[in-house]
Amino acid sequence: MEINDKSEVTEYKPSQKRYESMIYNRTGKSGVLLPAISLGLWHNFGFVDNLQNGRDIIRCAFDLGITHFDLANNYGPPYGSAEKNFGIILKEDFKNYRDELFIATKAGYDMWPGPYGNFGSRKYLMASIDQSLKRMRLDYVDVFYHHRPDTKTPLEETMVALADIVRQGKALYVGISNYKLEETQQAASLLKELNVPFILHQARYSMFDCWVEDGLLDTLEKNGVGCIAFSPLAQGMLTDKYLNGIPNDSRAAKSLSYLNTDTVYSNIEKIRKLNVMAKERNQKLSQMAIAWILRQPAVASVLLGASSANQLKENVKALNNLEFSNEELKLIDAIVS
């Protein structure tokens, strides 16, 4: 499983210019600065994927100034394999750069069989962080998230577990993901009482999914918590992939649970109109979609996946044009509404 073909693998030496062009945003009221674009390892880093390609993407990310890498216990497939592959790449390339990296993992979704491998119990979270650290070959992660709300476990139990994970030195900060507004406020209040650094809420946010604007971003700002947006490209709809139909190798063609052909076809006219607007801004649609999210002061970072280093490079170019006129914002609202 190690990357050990020395005939093909060269020693990695990061770009000395890696911090010159990336934008870094403060995360809530914490001391943490995150790159405006972070790399998510949800797809393309499991055992079913090409490990060298994943290595090339992570190397490229760091060379671009991306210091934040986001994982979860069940990323793969199979579950756990993204963390394990990430651990291999860290050992091979980044053992001397750990203190320059901000690494996140999560627990909350289905991970192992039986009653203790899911949701938000203390039992599950404590076991999960230990497993994740072992797979990634780390002593600690920078932030550990509860991945989704658990309506059957008392929120106090979940938050105390997160607090204890920090106190045990297994994470520096805590976060939550997929929590709605009221749940977020309750979590923030509990973590404040526990005196635990709660710095991030990871939420789905794109031009096609703006629910965070209905109070959540305000709640996060009030509590000194930053937002990191996932699925900013609406699973690929906010790119040029579907402008002329549905490619056979696309996510929509595979009818995955989070994207199918009906969803694409119902949004195709909006996608085409947004693409015209992006061209007028001298951007790709994906770049405009990323910039549009980063206009929000509460958003510390946009979390992107990547299937290749070149794709990542193209999307990072979104940072070259982050400004929107009032007329552009009104037009976007009119198109997506």
Q: Does any domain span residue 203?
A: yes
How far apart, in whole angstroms, are the C-alpha atoms of residue 20 and residue 131?
36
Residue 154 domain-assigned (yes or no): yes
Q: What does the pLDDT read at residue 262? A: 84
- Residue 7 has a pLDDT of 39
To 10 degrees, what angle do helices 122-136 and 155-167 make? Answer: 40
Helices 261-280 and 326-336, axial angle in degrees (round to 10)? 160
- Give pLDDT, residue 8: 56
From the CB of residue 151, how many other CB atoms can be counted at a distance below 10 Å? 9
pLDDT tens-digit series, residues 96-149: 999 999 999 999 999 999 999 999 999 999 999 999 999 999 999 999 999 999
Parent domain of 101: 27-235+289-321
Token couple for 7: 């005939």
The answer to whether residue 2 sits within a structural domain is: no
Point out the residues of the chain with pLDDT beneath 70: 1-9, 248-258
Give residues with Cβ within 8 angstroms of 288, minimum separation 6. Answer: 274, 277, 278, 281, 318
Beta partners for residue 34, in sequence order? 25
What pLDDT shows up at residue 245? 72
Domain presence at residue 1: no
**pLDDT score, position 6:** 46
Residue 193, number of CB atoms within 10 A of its CB: 11
Residue 281 belongs to a domain = no
> What is the count of structural domains for the chain?
1
Question: Is residue 23 left, alpha or beta, with left meaning phi > 0 and alpha meaning psi from -120 to 50?
Answer: beta
Is residue 215 in a domain? yes
- Domain CATH for 123: 3.20.20.100
Is residue 271 in a domain? no
Helices (H), 90-235: 122-136, 155-167, 181-193, 216-222
Residue 329 lies in a domain: no
- At 260 the pLDDT is 76
Query: Beta-carbon neighbour count of residue 5 at 10 Å?
Result: 8
